[in-house]
Structure 1
Amino acid sequence: MSQPPYQSQQVRPPAVAGLFYPAEPSRLRADVEAMLQAARPAGDTEPAGAPAALIVPHAGYVYSGPTAALAWAQAEALRGTVRRVVMLGPTHRVGVRALALPGCRAMDTPLGPVTVEVPPQVEALAAGGLVVTRPDVHAAEHSLEVQLPFLTTVLPEASLVPLAVGRVTPERAAEALRPFLGREDTLVVISSDLSHYLPQAEARRVDDATIGRILALRAGISHEEACGATGVNALLLAAGERGLRPRLLGAATSADTAGTPDRVVGYVAVGFYDPPGS
């Protein structure tokens, strides 16, 4: 690793509070709880069970928050059971040819800090260079940060393994998921939006095709189809090996919430579940 030990004594401060989501704690808590309440299944809806993994969008809450809440509401079934969330999200600002840890003991949010954990399985991946410690990669990155207010609300006792995904193959990225996927005490979260800046009708066509491939567990999704494609593809590979079943929880575009229809960003929430009787 570039900065042993894996965790220093520092706390990473929020980079996009006040931009992607409210910085004022009471407003942020109210917004998150309202989105979760709207996302909870109706009483007559068949429960999906507790998810082993989720795909969650990561735009500003005004755009993708309701779709993200559809995924995080599923994780409420894991409260008291899951003690760790392994989260992969793409790098938007600083490049790296690895999966990057932030090198801190916690990631702060307006709702309080989330403890960072580096399990032995992740430490072992550093020996081959797959995982590195790069605070600069995380400093201004939003793809993981925007999930944290949902995480600390839904699973307040869980620690976080935050991996910013750089230029690695999905097969390599899947190495970071296999030790954890399907463990009773761990939830895997992949942070990704779908298509970017297409007109609404074209975006729906492209996104529907991408969602179809996700639901069929067919890896090979491109970065034009999903900005977090590496993490998504890694999950599809590992989920297929474990026999997990994906379930579409919801999809939208920015034009469905607060944007204009001429240039939209697509969002999807997908849960991955053990088959019945397993």
Structure 2
Amino acid sequence: MISNIRTASVQGQFYPKNCNNIKKLIRKFTKKLKAISPSQDIRKIIPQAIIVPHAGYIYSGFTANCAYQFLKNSKPKRVIIIGPSHHYAFKGISGSYFEAYETSCGNINIDSPYLFALAKEFNIGFEPNAHKKEHSTEVQIPFIQYYFPKSKVIELIYGNVSVEKLAKIIFALLQNEENRIVISSDLSHFYTLETAKAHDYYCLRAIEDLNTELLNKGCEACGLTGIAAMILAAKKANLTSMLLDYRTSADITQDKSSVVGYLSALFYRK
């Protein structure tokens, strides 16, 4: 076992470095959500998995928090975060073979025994360079620690891997009621607002209809493999999907010439 810490690398960039400032920001997102949807009773749905964006909190934090507001209805023993590798090219999937994950609010424990068992079953390796700067998974940690302070985490970063293999892992994870899954993905990048919405439409429809074929019509999510795998696993597990929020960076910057799209969604058993 590797006895060290998964170092946080985007503190102060994608999210505040100060713990209290993170908590204030999440509370601000929640207050805004309640103001928008005061009559929505989120206590009735207990998701097994969510899809959330991974940009800076100023852009996509509200959208992500919409999903965590539902996920908090559960009491998982562990939360498995699955995201694409942005900075290091490799084949397969890399697990967080560390003892703990550094956060602004103190370390959060990694469930190493569970990861070891999962890795043995599905041949999950370890690529240290994939974890050094990966923000797609890291930006989820403050939310998880805020809503699930007693839960452990597992970070799975995927490189060049088939949708089918990742779907098998997700399906296996869904069979354990102590697990909750977080799929990390942004949508289209750097198109005009009109073009971005045209591409993102297919991502939204695919998730809503649990139809991976729609992804091929124009969805350009950076975590496309994770989204497709989640859809396949959800169908096999007889889960229902629900879209929660969609917006783009233009909502913050007012720049419609080059935007990034964000969505949040959940998967639950009726």
TM-score calculated relative to the size of structure 1: 0.89
Taking the aligned partners of 1:102 and 1:184, their CA distance within structure 2 comes to 21
1:175 Cα deviation after fit = 2.1
How many residues are aligned here? 266
- 5+ residue gaps, structure 1, are none
CA 1:56–1:159: 2 relative to 1, 3 Å: same
Which of 189, 211, 224 is the equivalent residue of 1:196? 189
Task: Tell me the residue number matched to 2:51.
Answer: 55
Taking the aligned partners of 1:54 and 1:261, their CA distance within structure 2 comes to 28
Taking the aligned partners of 1:238 and 1:77, their CA distance within structure 2 comes to 22
Task: Say if 1:70 and 1:269, in contact at 8 Å, map to a contact too.
Answer: yes
Matches within 5 A, 1:172-211: 172-181=165-174, 183-211=176-204
Matches within 5 A, 1:230-249: 230-249=225-244
Task: Tell me the residue number matched to 2:78.
Answer: 84
1:37 Cα deviation after fit = 3.3
Which of 147, 151, 157 is the equivalent residue of 1:164? 157
Task: Tell me the residue number matched to 2:67.
Answer: 71
1:151 aligns with 2:147: no
1:124 Cα deviation after fit = 4.7
Q: Percent identity?
A: 31
What CA deviation, in whole Å up to 9, does each residue of 1:118-176 have, x standing for no partner? 354753544663x1112211001100000011000011111111100110001001122
Taking the aligned partners of 2:177 and 2:200, their CA distance within structure 1 comes to 31
- Which shows bigger deviation, 220-229 or 231-240? 220-229
Taking the aligned partners of 1:121 and 1:264, their CA distance within structure 2 comes to 36
Matches within 5 A, 1:265-276: 265-275=260-270
Which of 15, 19, 41 is the equivalent residue of 2:9? 15
One-letter identity of the residue aligned with 1:52: Q
TM-score calculated relative to the size of structure 2: 0.92
Instruction: Give the number of the structure whose residues are more often helix, by fraction.
Output: 2
- 5+ residue gaps, structure 2, are none
One-letter identity of the residue aligned with 1:251: Y
Task: Tell me the residue number matched to 2:21.
Answer: 27
Please list every run of at least 4 consecutive aligned residues from structure 1 whose deviation after the TM superposition is greater than 6 angstroms: none
CA 1:12–1:269: 2 relative to 1, 3 Å: same
Taking the aligned partners of 2:7 and 2:141, their CA distance within structure 1 comes to 12
What CA deviation, in whole Å up to 9, does each residue of 1:72-101 have, x standing for no partner? 1111111xx211111110000011211111
